[in-house]
Structure 1
Amino acid sequence: MTEFQAPKGVPDYLPPESARFVAVRDGLLQSARLAGYGYVELPVFEDTSLFARGVGESTDVVSKEMYTFADRGERSVTLRPEGTAGVMRAVIEHGVDRGALPAKLCYSGPFFRYERPQAGRYRQLQQVGVEAIGVDDPALDAEVIAVADGGFRSLGLDGFRLEITSLGDDSCRPQYRELLQEFLFGLDLDEDTRRRAEINPLRVLDDKRPHVREMTADAPLMLDHLSEVAKAHFDTVLAHLDALGVPYVINPRMVRGLDYYTKTTFEFVHDGLGAQSGIGGGGRYDGLMRQLGGRDLSGIGFGLGVDRTLLALQAEGRTVGHTSAVDVFAVPLGDEAKLELAKLAAALRGAGVRTDLAYGDRSMKSAMKAADRSGAAIALVAGDRDVEAGTVGVKDLGTGEQVDVAADAVVSHVLARMGRVRLL
């Protein structure tokens, strides 16, 4: 038989490690929910032109990394490489922008880019994102950044830094573009790099090749050519970050990998990950909604890497999530005992306690080994005679101590031991 394997660059998350993945994803989402961001579920694939127009044809994402194919109707569709364009399409299509603003949305799930797989860089990457649409307020920029920062810190991560800059606005970007192109066209650039400089010269500053970085070391910087409005916006963002206690480092050479960014642009970096040091980032994208056929509304958002955050936590020696699948493991010895413990397991699950049962005709020794392997803190042990007597043994799997409890009091007893209040 053929042995199947996951596609190259697509990780599997299986128990118990998957518990850490879920904890990271949910922790990052919870930070957004606490700030009033409502969850939106997006399609995994969209019309190819959405990403070509929204992300930018000069980007590596569009020109080299998208998974694009023709469906059975000969329509060109693409597995989503990022989340913002899809959110904007949904906001326009469903009229979310006609309601209360800002529209504050969060999302999570897989995104797809054809890249050379390596540690922290996958072809199917998992992200959590937020978008705040409809209000151009530097205080909102700071809130979005603080949500990301708070999400990382809620997981115990602290060895990262926030790098931030401004990419200007429509009043200063054209002049800066001309100034940068004049500088770049005076360099000995290869044909592909020169073409990129013609389409979007900022992309050249993002080139990772050492010889290109050396040639562009003295390139003019956007931060030195901001309009008064853009500079005031950026200064106010920084003032709000200071007030919120969010530390940052200004990086004037920062260039994000997507074309739609304007004004505030940021990235979270963790040096414990080596070359793939980014664990998340984002920025403001004023003009994107208009570009996609909607109203001329501003927006700001981010995408945080769940996979990268997991690696960053590992680099710091930190663990998150419950690696045990259950809290209580029921061990029945006999058919009547199995029926009774199945009922108690269902009742405990209904009260929010993760509970499993030893299935199959196992011996006492085998069933208790299964209980130990489950990672549960408590075992319920009963034979048919115990059921006749109306009792169940409640065993502490840490200390080995066991007490007999009336069957109709087991749920309350377990909840009390776990420090919970019974749900009525």
Structure 2
Amino acid sequence: MKTVWLPILSVLLFVNGLLAETPPATVDEAAKAIDFSKFKLVNPVEDSTTSCIASQSYRAKGDVDQVTNEISKQLTAAGFKQAEGATITPAYASAVFLKDGFSVSLSIFPSGDNQSVQVALRNHGNVNLEKIVASDKLQKTYALPGSVMYTTKLSPEDARKLIRQELESQKWEWFGDTTVSFFMRQNAVRLQVMVNQSPAQPGTTAIQISSEQLSTELPIPSKATMIQYADINGGMIMDSTQSTPELVADLRQRFEKLKWKSTTDNLVKVGIHDHLIFRNNKEELADCEFFEFDGKSRCKISYQTKEQVDRENALAKKAAMDAEAKSKAAAEIKKVTISPIAGAKVKSKNQISIQTKSGGAAAILKAWLDNMKADGWKLESTVDTPQVAELSLEKDGVKLSITLVDPGFIPGEIEIRADKNCEIIPGR
């Protein structure tokens, strides 16, 4: 693959000229451009893959150049065009691919075992970040697909207020905070806005806005105070100042607006928390768990794709069938015929005992065990002396427990016990 080196400004002009000025993409629109949950893996190392519609990460066998070439071919075949400015070296590869306004980043670096590389593919959505904020108080310093940076003489606090107001005026909604940034979301595109005092320029505030395509579009309550979201599994945790009934009603209305329907009219108690499950026409599932936390109402949403739901249902069905088969097997009485042993008396269907002369139990037991082993039984012993013995025999899933007590001054006793679903039949 040819490596192209260009000044950053040239890259920006080329790339951003291709980005479309369209509304932020929905999940379906993003999946139409590329669905990384179905994108072919290149020589994957087993059990190393995490993927969803908007991203893919895994280890691949091969070196940086080989794997980069293969993935680039696949993206090109899917209609993407590689932007200028790619960097490919033995130490790492970084490239951007464009299609219908969407930008996808590819990064690859060695895993450290000299046999594989780590691959990361990320859809950054279709938002033209150069035009997302328009203010004469901001000076743009650079722009790349998925990222733009500004400087301003405003304080960090005032800059944050300005950016948030600008985005909210364009129908972006608040989507959570970190200690150094805040998030905004519209449809299925999330923006991360980082605002900091520039260490190199006293009195100057640096602003970086980056975009990320999301794989889900789950609703946000109207009075949320905290949002945590993980796109790799679609999970979300939200705190609200609403009471739990108010939060439930609010989310139900917002889910229905997005064409999700609850599977029950009322909350269902699972363990100690209340749950409400929603499904949509794509057969996806959102399990909303409600509980109080730190004086606020909290909702934890566990999201599953149709494939994940089908897989879980199949596992549950198999587990139920296995449990039913095990239950039936346990209910069936197995008749266990054992080798003849002198003096055997039936104490119950699964237990027999033998009394012997003092000092004679060990010889009787040894002769019987030899016959049982000859019949295919496997012997294990915990304690084995002429006075005290604890043994077990096993064959075809049936286990017999044997104890011997013969202290030498009273009659000896041998006891043979089977599982409750077994009936011991002494041979003759």
- TM bracket (short chain): under 0.3
TM-score, length-scaled by structure 2: 0.25
The structure in which a higher percent of residues are strand is 2
Q: Which has the higher relative contact order, 1 or 2, with Cα contacts under 8 A spaced 6 or more apart?
A: 1
The structure in which a higher percent of residues are helix is 1
